[in-house]
Amino acid sequence: MQEDLSRKKFLQYTAIAGAATLLGSLESFASTVSPAKLRVGIIGCGSVSNRYIPHLQTSSLVEIVSLCDIKYDRALAQKKQYNLTAATYPDIDAMLQGVPFDLLVTITDMQAHGMLNKKALQAGKHVWSEKPMANSYAEGKALLDLASSKKLRLWGAPAVVNSPQFAFMSKTLQAGKLGRVASAHGQYGHTGPTWSAFFYEKGGGSMPDLGVYNIATLTGLLGPAKSVMAMTSIVNPERTVDDKGKVKVEAEDNAHILLEHEKGAISHIMCGFNYFDPHGHEAKGQTLHSIQIFGDYGNMRLIGYDWEPLGVYLDN
């Protein structure tokens, strides 16, 4: 690891590097806003809110003032579960007209992100959005333009480039320690979410849910993609999920993506909802690598998943 990173600090980073690595970004931002505490509204009180809410509660610079879910009982349940004083709402319009807040944290079904983020920006709120921040390139670009025109901040998960392991890999590459970089590979999969149908409905899929982590890591390390090719398929045409029972799978659940970066480097990402992993969805205790980078002087592997990296092997 980097020489200037103490073991204690490294372990602290690693412990918080899950779905909700937003605090690092938000705390430096919070110190610039007035009033001193950043007032946060959370929309979507499902599975991942159980990571976001306690994580946000650890900061003295952040206050959760508003909770919203179209399944309103979920907003009420999370308020009680986490002992919050927040106001609760059953839809975005009521939320935006209710208790004032500075930043919307969007953690709903993927298909609703673009619409909700747009409404929040239009109402003058900063936005932190789970992936994807929008459902098409055009919608995402329009959101960014809207945020810039209103001098608002727009963050999009995943925050994989914030880890010290990523910083180490990036510095290693920039120092030329791998020589000429030719190829890279990323993989992320499990046997698929069991709680909500949206992952399998139109606009869902393994790419926006899982592949996006590796895409962010590999474009972060090797630079933007100049061209992209992908092949996708549906391996399991029917799923049983908690919220809707048996559903037909409409979005891909198996994807391979090729990215062309600068100077001839090519990376490959595979993701899917049909990957057996003995470490499960949470990947606790994972010891295998999920990212590999090959150059003509050396190669590098990221151990564990890029959203909870455990270390880096460097051979050169």
Ligand X SMILES: NC(=O)c1ccc[n+]([C@@H]2O[C@H](COP(=O)([O-])OP(=O)(O)OC[C@H]3O[C@@H](n4cnc5c(N)ncnc54)[C@H](O)[C@@H]3O)[C@@H](O)[C@H]2O)c1
The contact set with ligand X (CB under 6 A) reads 19, 43-48, 68-71, 74, 92, 107-110, 112, 116, 130-131, 195-196, 209
Report d(CA 65, CA 39) in Å as an integer.
6
Q: Which is nearer to ligand X, 43 or 312 (CB)?
A: 43
Pure H helices in the chain = 7-15, 22-30, 49-57, 72-81, 92-97, 113-122, 137-149, 164-174, 206, 212-222
Q: 3-state DSSP call for residue 14?
A: helix
Q: 3-state DSSP call for residue 21?
A: coil
Least distance from C-beta 108 to ligand X, angstroms?
A: 4
Q: Which is nearer to ligand X, 172 or 217 (CB)?
A: 217
Q: Which is nearer to ligand X, 173 or 271 (CB)?
A: 271
Least distance from C-beta 105 to ligand X, angstroms?
A: 10
Rounded-to-5 percentages of helix, strand, coil across the chain: 35, 25, 40
Least distance from C-beta 18 to ligand X, angstroms?
A: 8
Task: Spell out the SS3 assignment of 129-144.
Answer: ECCCCCCCHHHHHHHH
Q: Which is nearer to ligand X, 124 or 280 (CB)?
A: 280
Q: Which is nearer to ligand X, 250 or 260 (CB)?
A: 250
Token digits of residue 257: 């993506």
Report d(CA 39, CA 37) in Å as an integer.
6
Least distance from C-beta 89 to ligand X, angstroms?
A: 8
Token digits of residue 143: 């959101």
Least distance from C-beta 77 to ligand X, angstroms?
A: 10
Q: Which is nearer to ligand X, 166 or 305 (CB)?
A: 305
Least distance from C-beta 36 to ligand X, angstroms?
A: 28
